[in-house]
Chains A and B, each alone.
Chain A
């Protein structure tokens, strides 16, 4: 496992790849490094002239101010943290399960309506979300879910991206493997959970990242008006978006804080994506 496959690889090529990646990697990383640096700058350094990229006297002042601001809220700050984590974790797990269940028949079975269902799911990815917000609000209002956890938990369960991603990966599993399971008497559920899901591990690990991150970053501002169900991005936006330029450092601090949980999820899942050697033994 540890030893790299050296087939058809030249050292010169390896060096070139490394240089290209280092070059573009720094372009990708520098603005984010700048965001972190901004968050560590004391107030006088944010307004120093000429502006500096690096911080001379790093401080946690901005984070301190942020916590001070959160200390005076109507409900304790931990409530928002809990809401965010609760909604993100439950919806992510639910979404991966729902999407995988729906993706399997679409990838590997033939039944009436299959193409129709698949096409509307993919097409819905292409409809501008800005205009569906109002009808979606009406659906939530009609079903009495405004101002409850349901408004945050339920809609992400059926994000079209997840189904499409899972279906694409499942369609690559050789039919012979599934036929063999069927002949052994496995039901569709057993095949799905015992054979298909382990085979598409890179897909659902990747989906966990997408789902967690998009649910985590949702503000749900249109659906939630009571304090006890608001989530972190909403409250941090309320605190830092007072268009007060002196809060520039605090805003950077809150951006950095909000990025931490998705990065943790990313590191955990992505290292597993790279570890897995999925269905290398399966052949058609």
Chain B
């Protein structure tokens, strides 16, 4: 304890690095349990995957060193990858931002409701994310035969004369996957925003009213958003991970592989090579490229929000 007080006032210098470490040993002790499990089950596997991206690895024989060959093949020799990139960019730069703002707007609107109703509406909006597989119900709704709920309804109303293959026709399938992805996307960011709104000091609104804030829009812009920057950044990272990583929903709804690869994303491409073709080295190279793209996006958003 005494040490803490003594050194607290000394400005940080490069040469007393070790003293800094010793002074903060409590911090390292608090980090120890989490970081040891994290290193074992996340850091090592991620580093191993990046390492494997420079090899040929079919899961049966030991990996063989390939240098940059996987990356060269990926950028110069893989046409399906281009489709995957195009679809992933749609998710990343259309679906991602839309669902980010939807999370924010709905969290804010729900926060305006009286408490009982607020808890209920939070459940309604979050419920699609609760189950890992509830989105499969959309297969029944969008089914391509006359038993599909959408087809049979449109035929009953006379809009269609014969059933449409909503999920296998390349003209429509991405559009419906986007709808389902948006339906699913009020997840972690949304709940973090709800919790963030609960954490804002209510007296700031009273002070704001005295300072001339007249309506709820001004309140949102001048008080609410600036006070929940950490949550906004958290939400952005979660949205990046979710929208760059869209995969199981594409495979489940559009089939795998989808018609002419029309619903292929980067992660379904990874799945194809890693799980179906046993080319783990190549799959890891794709994952590494995706990883870099996500980090760049995250850093840009961090700059925009001026936080981390």
Give me the interface of A with B, judged by CB distance under 8 Å. 2, 4-5, 7-10, 13-14, 17-18, 20-21, 24-25, 27-29, 31-32, 34-35, 38, 47, 49-51, 53, 98-99, 101-102, 104-106, 109-112, 114, 117-118, 120-128, 130-136, 138-139, 143, 154-155, 157-158, 160-161, 163-165, 168-169, 171-172, 182, 185, 187-189, 192, 200, 202-203, 205-206, 209-210, 213, 217, 233, 248, 252, 255, 258-259, 262-263, 266-267, 270-271, 273-280, 282-283
Residues 114 to 170 of chain B near chain A (Cβ within 8 Å): 114-115, 118-119, 121-128, 130-138, 140-141, 146-149, 152, 155-156
Known pairs A25-B125, A111-B27, A158-B42; list 19 more (Cβ under 8 Å).
A8-B216, A8-B218, A25-B124, A31-B137, A32-B134, A51-B147, A98-B37, A126-B244, A126-B295, A134-B274, A135-B46, A136-B45, A157-B34, A160-B38, A161-B238, A169-B199, A172-B230, A206-B191, A283-B201
**Separation of A276 and B200 alpha carbons in the complex (Å):** 11
Q: Are B110 and A267 in contact (CB under 8 A)?
A: no
Q: Are A32 and B202 in contact (CB under 8 A)?
A: no
**Residue numbers in B under 8 Å from A168 (CB-CB):** 192, 230-231, 233-234
Q: Are B121 and A25 in contact (CB under 8 A)?
A: yes
What's the nearest-Cβ distance from chain B to residue A94, in Å? 9
What's the nearest-Cβ distance from chain A to residue B69, in Å? 17
Q: Are B45 and A258 in contact (CB under 8 A)?
A: no
**Residue numbers in B under 8 Å from A205 (CB-CB):** 195
What's the nearest-Cβ distance from chain A to residue B85, in Å? 14
The 6 A-B pairs with the shortest beta carbon distances in the complex, nearest first, are: A105-B27, A168-B230, A111-B24, A102-B34, A158-B38, A135-B45
Q: Are A280 and B203 in contact (CB under 8 A)?
A: yes
Q: Are B20 and A135 in contact (CB under 8 A)?
A: no
Q: Are B201 and A266 in contact (CB under 8 A)?
A: no
Q: Are A278 and B199 in contact (CB under 8 A)?
A: yes
Q: Are A5 and B237 in contact (CB under 8 A)?
A: no
**Residues A38 and B199 in contact in the complex (CB < 8 Å), given A101-B33, A266-B130:** no
What's the nearest-Cβ distance from chain B to residue A29, in Å? 5
Q: Are A101 and B31 in contact (CB under 8 A)?
A: yes
Chain A, interface SS category: helix
Does B113 make an interface contact (CB < 8 A)? yes
Does B48 make an interface contact (CB < 8 A)? yes
**Residues A102 and B35 in contact in the complex (CB < 8 Å), given A7-B209, A109-B27, A217-B131:** yes
Q: Are B202 and A10 in contact (CB under 8 A)?
A: no
**Residue numbers in A under 8 Å from B134 (CB-CB):** 31-32, 35, 255, 259
Does B263 make an interface contact (CB < 8 A)? no
Q: Are A28 and B234 in contact (CB under 8 A)?
A: no
**Separation of A279 and B198 alpha carbons in the complex (Å):** 10
Q: Are A263 and B123 in contact (CB under 8 A)?
A: yes
Q: Are B234 and A163 in contact (CB under 8 A)?
A: no
**Residue numbers in A under 8 Å from B130 (CB-CB):** 213, 259, 262-263, 266
A236 to chain B: closest residue by CB: B133
What's the nearest-Cβ distance from chain A to residue B127, in Å? 6
7 contacts between A and B (CB under 8 A): A21-B110, A24-B106, A31-B141, A51-B149, A126-B291, A182-B4, A273-B194
B227 to chain A: closest residue by CB: A172
